[in-house]
Amino acid sequence: MSPSLILKEHPFEGVLVLRLNRPEVLNALNLELRHALAQAFTAADQDPSVHVVVLCGSEKAFCAGADLNEYVDASPVEIIERRMDRLWQAISSCSKPVIAAVCGYALGGGFELAMHADIIIASENAKLGQPEVQIGIMPGGGATQRLTRAVGKFQAMKWLLTGALFKAQEAFQMGLVSEVLAADQVEARALQMAQELSAGPQLAIQSIKKVVIEGMSLPLEQGLDYERKAFQLLFATEDKVEGMRARLDKRPPQFKNR
Catalytic residue among 36, 44, 64, 66: 66
112 is catalytic: yes
Residue 132 catalytic?
yes
- What does 188-238 look like in DSSP terms, one character per residue? HHHHHHHHHHHTS-HHHHHHHHHHHHHHTTS-HHHHHHHHHHHHHHGGGSH
- For residues 116 and 142, the answer to whether their CB atoms sit within 8 Å is yes
Active site residue 109: yes
Vertex 120 angle, CA 252 and 25, to 5°: 135
DSSP code of residue 187: H
Spot the catalytic one: 112, 156, 194, 204: 112
Give me Rg for the CA atoms of the chain: 19
For residue 108, indicate whether it is catalytic: no
Question: What amino acid occupies position 27?
Answer: N
Q: Catalytic: which of 14, 109, 141, 243?
A: 109
* Catalytic-role residue among 64, 132, 143, 187: 132
Burial of 235 (0-12, 13-18, 19+ CB in 10 A): exposed
Residues whose CB is less than 8 angstroms from the CB of residue 40 and which lie 6 or more positions away in sequence, other chains included: 6, 8, 18
Q: Give the active site residues.
A: 66, 109, 112, 132
